[in-house]
Chains A and B, each alone.
Chain A
């Protein structure tokens, strides 16, 4: 039975079944592809044709520092997120469902809570006179307030908070797909728990860790809100720099060039991530 409207669309000269995607294609083409391509063209034509914007971008110590800082923050955030997320995902994969659903509920609540609300909470918590500094001083662990905001520490705490769900949730799936028998077999063969972890559990969850980690890294590279509010002026990240260049300095050429660099890096890493997820899917069938 192919008597649906699909056949009619092929009469109109369109490939079968593509017709109903037309509104979406028009919308995305006209208001996404066209503006993004126009922006990229602007990076080589504004103020005059040439590559001067890219020369300015890579020739200036200030901008190179922004690039390095962006990669540093994204790298640190990804590493910390993986370390924190793995044990949680591990427990969620094997916990009794009643206990697990409480943790899942908390993860969803934090994930669905407005991004600015969460960032605002961290701004207040991490202040010089904030709860965390007071608590640490009250406990006698530190004697002077730690600088926890407007620096790398603040951005890392805030970003890890936001990225955790994106790492935990897919990892739970990966860990649940591992057959517990493989570990029982390892134990029977005399492997210590540490050895079983290092040689069985970790390697088997590595595709999930890599895919999730790459996603967190890519998202962190282009993040705007949290770094802008929790970070300092001395360690600005790429997204904030792009926004500022365009909005305050009105330097569209330079801003477009920086946006193009961000786009290329993001898309390249995303392509790698897609291959990893694809590889995991086929690998899971074994």
Chain B
């Protein structure tokens, strides 16, 4: 009866208790950092001696934090757009193409997700040093597009595999050009896959640290690089404020995703 929730008996109490404890463990750091960001202690004492907004004021008054956030947003937006467009084309070929080596091609395009990032980071850094792209926005965007590509290809190919191609063919029989059929029939049908691809490839770039640490220059740094630098220097509560804003952003993204998915799947 181990797979019947209602007949587990005493075991259920133990297992549900354990699951609740693990859920608390997963939630603890997220909640803790948000509480801490409002605490008045410079030394991150907990529970804090008082509550304050001064870390947020310091954060918003510091142009380097704002700059880093804007840089991150800009790079992530460009990388996500590129990854989704290139990934969309590649997905058509991976799902519908009839050629030998299709599986090899799929494996190749997904490799950047599997290879340890640090290996790619020093490889692309060395390469960009040689061709003069290190420390440039273009270099950042290219490197992040490669890392984001698998996150675009996986949801799009999954959606495309679930789409019945004969509907597209029917549109062509009815007089649509192949391009029209794709744009007006196929793309709207796989919109949930495309939407997931946009979110995931944006996050892949927005949260990326390792390549960014190598690629950053004194004049060009992303938010994770800025946080990384602050963490290595000290554990200032300003980082807690920045982190809490990121947690808020994550929550918004989760809610928007859930709502949009519900709306799109109707």
Contacts and interface: CB of A to CB of B under 8 A. Distances in A.
A46 B252 CA distance: 49
Contacts of A164: 22, 26
Contact of B119 (A22, A28, A96, A263): A263
A17 B105 contact: no
Interface string B197-216: 00000010001011001100
Interface string B45-88: 11000000000000000000000000000000000000000110
A248 to B, nearest CB: 12
A36 interface: yes
A120 B33 contact: yes
B122 A256 contact: yes
Interface string B1-44: 11111000001000110110011011111101100100000011
A266 B115 contact: yes
A88 to B, nearest CB: 5
A28 to B, nearest CB: 6
Interface stretch (A50-58, A61-69, A139-147, A217-225): A217-225
B73 to A, nearest CB: 14
B123 A96 contact: no
B16 A91 contact: yes
B29 to A, nearest CB: 3
B121 interface: yes
A23 B89 contact: yes
Interface residues of A, number: 98
Given A15-B100, A18-B97, A28 B146 contact: yes
B11 A193 contact: yes
B99 A15 contact: yes
B117 A113 contact: no
Given A39-B123, A42-B126, A87 B30 contact: no
Contacts of B86: 23-24, 27
Interface in B196-240: 203, 207, 209-210, 213-214, 224, 227-228, 231, 235, 239-240
Given A18-B93, A107-B26, A123-B235, A117 B246 contact: yes
Interface in A80-139: 84, 87-88, 90-96, 102-103, 105-110, 112-125, 127, 129-131, 134
A170 interface: no
A277 interface: no
Nearest to B213: A243
Nearest to B116: A222
A112 B123 CA distance: 27
Nearest to B18: A87
B2 A112 contact: no
A93 B2 CA distance: 11
A107 B24 CA distance: 10
Interface in A1-58: 1, 3-6, 15-25, 27-28, 31-36, 38-39, 42
A121 B32 contact: yes
A158 to B, nearest CB: 9
Nearest to B25: A161
B158 interface: no
A34 B126 CA distance: 11
13 contacts: A5-B179, A16-B98, A24-B86, A32-B124, A95-B16, A96-B5, A109-B30, A110-B27, A127-B44, A201-B3, A222-B119, A263-B119, A267-B114
Interface of A: 1, 3-6, 15-25, 27-28, 31-36, 38-39, 42, 84, 87-88, 90-96, 102-103, 105-110, 112-125, 127, 129-131, 134, 161, 164, 175, 178, 180, 183-184, 187, 193, 196-197, 200-201, 218, 221-225, 229, 239, 242-243, 246-247, 252, 255-256, 259, 262-263, 266-267, 270
